[in-house]
A and B are shown apart, each in its own frame.
Chain A
Amino acid sequence: MVSSTLLVQGLALGVLTGGLYALLASGLTLYFGVMRVVMIAHPAFLFLAAYLTYFINRVTGLDPLLSIVVLVPVFFVLGVFVQRLLVGRLDPNNMAMMSVLLTFALALLIEGGLGVVATGSYRSINVDYATSSVRPFDLVALPVDKLIGFGIAAVTFVAIFAVLRWTRLGQALRATIQHPTAATLVGIETDRVRGYGFGIGLATAAIGGAVLSIIDPFFPAAHWAYIGKLMAIIVVGGLGSVPGAAIAALLLGSLEGVLQVTWGATIAGMMFYAFLFATLLVRPYGFFGGRLAERF
């Protein structure tokens, strides 16, 4: 039978993974909250960042985590451009549906482009600190790479929350989320604000990609495995609510860890979709957010 140490171990690993999910889901939540965009290509950008980290590491020998400093501004600008040039031109009355198609195409483009440039081979970055772990009270092993990932995710998350909560840009973003027309009336340039929102979302993908590159090997089509889980998390968390997404990510991540050590990985993977299904059935606005994320 499953020992209690194994359960605790599974739970600990699940919490750490949940932190990474929270970081990845926060971007998706922003896109949806700020402009009702369902961003299928978010994990594709995540792996684009992982590949860039890989090549930066290859060429310069720079620590993969330091490439965050370079990638974040690049992805922010990229995000602003994607929003202004592509997403912003979609029919606003049909945004959710059309954005699925557009970002699906973006995901395929990125996947194909990575395949051409970097081939379909697996890539990975091997850093010394990634394969050790700390053992508090000799109870559970906490892998250092996942601890780092969790730490970076937490810092990023707090930063996003602080920006949304206490800056003028954040106020403008929240106003745009709550009522775009009213926001325009009080003088907020909603188009520009939407671009920044998209930029922040992609910047989280840059951070996530750099973290992911030291944890798992990756290949161009790896992003498909993430989009389902992340969609489930933001729906359960309440579409558009950043703290809701974080809570849902931590809860589902922990549950996944526990299920993996008890009922097996197949059930653990299914669990996300079971929650997605149940949420849509019982509480379509999610458990932790308000009606379409009016709260932060």
Chain B
Amino acid sequence: MRNNRNVALPGLMAMALVVAACGTEELDDPTADEDADQTEEPADQTEEPAGDPIRIGISLPLSGDFSEPGKGVQQGYETWAEMINQEGGLLGRPVELIFRDDASDPNKVVTDYESLITQDNVDLVFGPFSTRLVIPAAEVAESYDMLFVEPAGAAPEVFEQGFEYLFYAAPAVANDHYNYLAEWILALPEDQRPQTAAYAALDDPFAQGTAYGLKDALEAGGIETVVDEVYPPDTTGFTAIAAGIADSDADIVVGGTQFEDSVGLLRAFQDLGYQPDIAAFSTGPTLPEFEEALGAATEGVIAPVGWSIGADFGRNQEFVAAHQELHGEDPDEDAANGFTVGEVVAAAVEAVGCAEQGEECQRALADHIRANELETIVGPLSWDEAGRPQAAHMILQWQGGNIEIVLPDDPEVQTAEIQFPKAEW
């Protein structure tokens, strides 16, 4: 979602379409298709797992708009397969991942899953990246009765299609990202509790979802909304938008932001001398570039985050170590989401004892996931009927130039106490 920032203006769209059409033609070239197929052999075949491999089909955006997060998810899947094969495989059989590159194209993702299921005859499928690709891919999986656990696609419409086999393998959908923060604010004693809040959100379902989830919770708790602004994705200057919020002098400011808007708003607040008690922005503060852009002004800024490298949930530390060994770098949140998909499916496969196509096995797997709480690296996960995860995101806060997890108040994840009111920026 956060990569959805290439904003061409309408006048150029026609030309962009022409260019895109030329690009698609090239991609449909049959010889190019072979390159897109990558078969991952289990790294160590002399180890325990024996018998026919369990083959898992995955289409990911390895090129195009979403290639950066797509590669992150791929690495997470690879780390999961590596770990499981070293530990004796799944049901005693080795795991083999078959990747296809969908070039971030919703049409290609459909043919990818069609051919993975019908021609490669894979035993299981894992989901692709981003809402735009998850929905068409899930439709294919649904029509073949395939379990579809996916690492991305938190927007509400994913769960409104009536999918029976879809599960989102992350702690929470967009609207629940700030739940811990809302609970914490509303639990403050009356005389300390903030009275007013201002919201500015990017016109984007994910970014708005996060901000409005918190807005609904705070309004229900009696905190007055004094500003509620929406800005389009091609907004270039944020000072005037920030001026409206500064003028209201709200106690809490919430940005439903991606990255450049979080930086733009924060710098503008600095310019205007506005000092809130709580400042929360979606996505921006979770990226390392945030500090480069803002320096010491990051102090006290809050954001929701689905996974933390330092958390002790489940096998998180083993995952981080294995990922560093395999890929030579720290995993990011996308890789963690990919790994979580693997964990969820593996738990169901081990419990049900099957991994093959066919409604009987796949439905049993889906029923198992729907009925149980599963231990994962992002914490214990459970799902509602539509596949929405039922947990909340952790809340991070920048303190002394580091990212600290301040909520929930749980020794397994909390690394520091929340700073309130926040330091001046």
Contacts and interface: CB of A to CB of B under 8 A. Distances in A.
A83 B19 CA distance: 24
A139 interface: no
Contacts of A104: 12, 15
A126 interface: yes
Given A13-B243, A260-B241, A266 B263 contact: no
A261 interface: yes
A226 B244 CA distance: 23
B267 A130 contact: yes
Given A6-B244, A132-B271, A260-B240, A217 B259 contact: yes
- Among B3, B235, B297: residue with most chain A CB under 10 A: B235
Contact of B247 (A9, A133, A145, A266): A9
A222 B10 CA distance: 15
A172 interface: no
A42 interface: no
Contact of B234 (A132, A216, A225): A225
Nearest to B262: A217
A99 to B, nearest CB: 13
A122 interface: yes
B234 to A, nearest CB: 4
Given A9-B243, A133-B272, A221 B6 contact: yes
Contacts of B68: 120
A40 B12 contact: yes
A122 B7 contact: no
Interface in A182-228: 215-219, 221-222, 224-228
B264 interface: yes
Given A13-B240, A228-B9, A228-B11, A6 B247 contact: yes
A3 B241 contact: no
A217 B271 contact: no
Interface in A257-285: 257, 260-261, 264-266, 268-269, 273
A266 B203 contact: yes
Given A121-B289, A226-B236, A266 B11 contact: no
Nearest to B243: A9
Contact of B12 (A224, A256, A265, A268): A224
Contacts of B329: none
Interface stretch (B144-152, B225-233, B365-373): B225-233
A10 interface: yes
A14 interface: yes
Interface in A120-134: 120-124, 126, 130-133
Say what secondary structure dominates the interface of chain B: helix
B162 interface: no
Contacts of A227: 9, 12
Contacts of B3: 120
Given A225-B236, A264-B230, A133 B259 contact: no
Nearest to A119: B68
A5 B246 CA distance: 11
Interface in A47-75: none
A108 interface: yes
A216 B236 contact: yes
Interface string B283-312: 000010100111101000000000000000
A219 B232 contact: no
Interface in B221-274: 229-232, 234-237, 239-241, 243-244, 247, 259-260, 263-264, 267-268, 270-273
Interface in B3-60: 3, 5-12, 15, 19
- Among B232, B236, B240, B268: residue with most chain A CB under 10 A: B240
Contacts of A10: 240, 243
Given A13-B240, A141-B271, A219 B247 contact: no
Interface in A126-154: 126, 130-133, 141, 143-146
A265 B232 contact: yes
B243 A261 contact: yes
Contacts of B267: 130-131
Interface string A16-35: 01000000000000000000
A75 B244 CA distance: 38
Contacts of B297: 131
A175 interface: no
Given A224-B6, A256-B240, A261-B243, A126 B292 contact: yes
Given A120-B3, A141-B271, A264-B229, 17 more contacts: A121-B289, A130-B267, A131-B297, A143-B268, A146-B271, A221-B6, A225-B235, A226-B236, A227-B12, A229-B236, A261-B241, A261-B243, A261-B247, A264-B230, A265-B229, A269-B231, A269-B235
Interface of A: 2-3, 5-6, 9-10, 13-14, 17, 40, 100-101, 104, 108, 120-124, 126, 130-133, 141, 143-146, 215-219, 221-222, 224-229, 231, 256-257, 260-261, 264-266, 268-269, 273
The 6 A-B residue pairs with the shortest CB-CB distance in the complex, in nearest-first order: A265-B231, A228-B9, A260-B240, A143-B271, A124-B293, A225-B234
6 contacts: A2-B244, A17-B237, A131-B267, A217-B260, A218-B260, A265-B231
